């Protein structure tokens, strides 16, 4: 095997003077190009990217943008001559013979060393036409926009190597993607993320995330390292950064203006030991949420552990652990809220309920959540009328409504259900108000919303049309009993929280 799998003799570190982007580091001279060793990374306490870090200049869909721009340039290699040789030499050091390889952001070219035997090489990219020209791929390529669907459709531990070459700066959901990479890697497997100067391909600059445009190469290396660190996978090991640039780029790259592109790699291995303790896993995922202090982490953790302990079987418990992975992404959306709009206990309630209730991070769900929270203007089809019909209920109940309704967005069945909720709620308010004339507006709204959730949204689709007719047959005594139980439940919960 040609990969570096054996343990090297430890050598005395040497002082090396770096380029203007990189500080002076003491490194092992036998590890060619090493700029940042595993002990040199420094991280903040939580995910550091909020606001517009992942915004991009172009609002065109990735697929349409790529189809329009790529055909004129994709046949040109970003790395040629000495740059290509340098990258191939690096890959040869770390890719074992006979590896199963997953290449993310694949196109017409890979940089696999000539003669390196591969058992499997799968490509995921935006253009099947381009990937069909890639002779290194051993299977039909997968056309997938990872900014729309960041999940990888492979079994756990399917690959020895994952490669991302000149693509990482276009990803808007890196935490999910790097978590998925960790999942599909075998224990001890390696992920290598290669990048070059930010001006190397001007045709695609409008799709680079904002922070990539604002940073230099050393900062790019740190950013990629943070994707490993904060992907919720604490078993990444041997996180390193390399500058393997040749003295001067050659071939096609020399045609680009601005700074001359170099060749940089940030890489890490998946640890050998798999974490299985659900308490550790849930806390690990939650702690990756942006901007959370220890109290907020604890609130989310305790809510999820309560769901875990209440699950009826192991499948349900595993689902809660899996749901914990989604909490950081939800907090990324919530980070855009103005201060004081939603207090920490309600954020914890909303994020954990959404995570366990079908959150998939789609654009439709994100927009639905933002509209429900008033972060963006709302239309008069759902959130506007819903707000008017539930003005009297308390904040906690409104949060619970959000957690039930937001997951409905983005699917055909869910959208159809959303369109029927408002008229059904209007009818429920009318019926409950008439049957309980002494109830306050808040109580009428509270009970009506509960009935919508329990007997309309949760009902089989063929039964929903009978909801209002059924409600009209319910006696006033039963409605009063249900209201009493609901209010008593809130009082008990309020007492417990104090």
Cα 337 from chain centre = 19
Alpha helices in 114-232 (DSSP H): 128-131, 174-184, 210-214, 217-229
Q: What is the pLDDT of residue 14?
A: 32
Q: Which residues pair with 16 in a beta bridge?
A: 25
- Mean of pLDDT values over 117-140: 93
Question: In this model, does residue 94 exceed pLDDT 80?
Answer: yes
Model confidence at 17, pLDDT cuts 50, 70, 90, reads very low
Q: What is the pLDDT of residue 421?
A: 94
- Mean of pLDDT values over 379-384: 89
Task: State the pairing for strand pair 142-143/118-125.
Answer: parallel
Q: pLDDT averaged over the chain? A: 85
Q: What is the pLDDT of residue 12?
A: 32
Contact (CB, 8 A) for 133 and 114: no
Rounded alpha-carbon distances, angstroms, from residue 15 to 18, 35, 79, 80, 442: 10, 11, 29, 30, 71
| Residues 25-43: tens digit of each pLDDT | 445 667 889 999 998 998 8
Question: In this model, does residue 424 exceed pLDDT 50?
Answer: yes
| Residues 190-219: tens digit of each pLDDT | 999 999 987 777 778 889 999 998 899 999
The backbone torsions φ and ψ at residue 87, rounded to the nearest 5 degrees and listed phi first, read -70, -40
Number of helices and strands (H, E) in the chain?
18, 10
Q: Phi-psi region for residue 9, left (φ > 0), alpha (ψ -120 to 50) or beta?
A: beta
Q: What is the pLDDT of residue 74?
A: 58
Separation of alpha carbons 102 and 181, rounded Å: 9
| Residues 150-183: tens digit of each pLDDT | 889 999 999 999 999 989 999 998 988 998 999 8
Q: What is the pLDDT of residue 7?
A: 32
Q: What is the pLDDT of residue 181?
A: 94
Contact (CB, 8 A) for 304 and 330: no
Q: What is the pLDDT of residue 238?
A: 94
Q: Phi-psi region for residue 12, left (φ > 0), alpha (ψ -120 to 50) or beta?
A: beta
- Mean of pLDDT values over 48-68: 86
Residue 159, SS3 per DSSP: strand
Of residues 31 and 301, which shows the higher confidence score? 301
């Amino acid at each position: 095997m040609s990969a570096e799998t054996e343990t090297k003799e430890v050598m005395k570190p040497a002082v090396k003077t770096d380029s203007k982007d990189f500080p002076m580091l003491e490194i092992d001279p036998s590890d060619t190009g090493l700029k940042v060793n595993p002990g040199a990374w420094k991280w903040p306490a939580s995910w550091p990217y909020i606001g517009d870090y992942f915004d991009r200049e172009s609002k065109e869909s990735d697929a349409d943008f790529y189809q329009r721009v790529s055909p004129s340039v994709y046949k040109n290699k970003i790395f040629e001559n000495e740059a290509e040789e340098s990258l191939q030499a690096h890959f040869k050091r770390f890719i074992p013979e006979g590896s199963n390889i997953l290449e993310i952001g694949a196109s017409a070219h890979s940089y696999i060393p000539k003669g390196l035997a591969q058992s499997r090489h799968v490509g995921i990219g935006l253009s099947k036409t381009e990937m069909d020209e890639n002779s290194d791929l051993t299977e039909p390529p997968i056309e997938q926009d990872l900014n729309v669907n960041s999940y990888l459709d492979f079994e756990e531990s399917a690959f020895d190597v994952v490669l991302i070459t000149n693509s990482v700066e276009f990803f808007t959901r890196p935490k999910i993607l790097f978590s998925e990479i960790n999942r599909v890697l075998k224990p001890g497997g390696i992920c290598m993320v290669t990048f070059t100067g930010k001006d190397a391909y001007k045709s695609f600059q409008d799709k680079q995330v904002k922070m990539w445009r604002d940073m230099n190469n050393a900062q790019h290396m740190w950013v990629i390292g943070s994707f490993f660190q904060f992907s919720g996978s604490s078993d990444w090991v041997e996180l390193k950064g390399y500058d393997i640039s040749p003295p001067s780029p050659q071939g096609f790259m020399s045609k680009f203006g601005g700074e001359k592109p170099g060749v940089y790699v940030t890489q890490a291995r998946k640890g050998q030991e798999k974490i299985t303790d659900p308490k550790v896993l849930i806390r690990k995922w939650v702690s990756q949420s942006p901007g959370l202090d220890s109290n907020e982490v604890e609130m989310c953790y305790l809510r999820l552990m309560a769901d875990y302990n209440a699950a009826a079987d192991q499948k349900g418990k595993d689902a809660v652990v899996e749901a914990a992975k989604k909490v950081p992404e939800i907090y990324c959306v919530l980070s855009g809220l103005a201060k004081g709009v939603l207090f920490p206990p309600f954020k914890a309630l909303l994020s954990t309920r959404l995570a366990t209730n079908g959150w998939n991070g789609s654009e439709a769900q994100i927009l639905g959540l933002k509209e429900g929270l008033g972060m963006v203007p709302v239309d008069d089809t759902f959130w506007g009328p819903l707000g008017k019909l539930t003005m009297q209920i308390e904040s906690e109940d409104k949060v619970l409504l959000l957690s039930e309704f937001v997951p409905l967005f983005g699917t055909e069945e869910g959208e159809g259900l959303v369109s029927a909720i408002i008229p059904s709620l209007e009818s429920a308010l009318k019926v409950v108000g008439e049957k309980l004339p002494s109830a306050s507006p808040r109580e009428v709204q509270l009970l009506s919303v509960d009935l919508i959730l329990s007997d309309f949204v949760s009902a089989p689709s063929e039964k929903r049309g009978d909801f209002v007719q059924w409600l009209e047959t319910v006696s006033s005594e039963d409605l009063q009993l249900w209201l009493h139980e609901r209010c008593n439940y809130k009082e008990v919960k309020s007492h417990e929280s104090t």
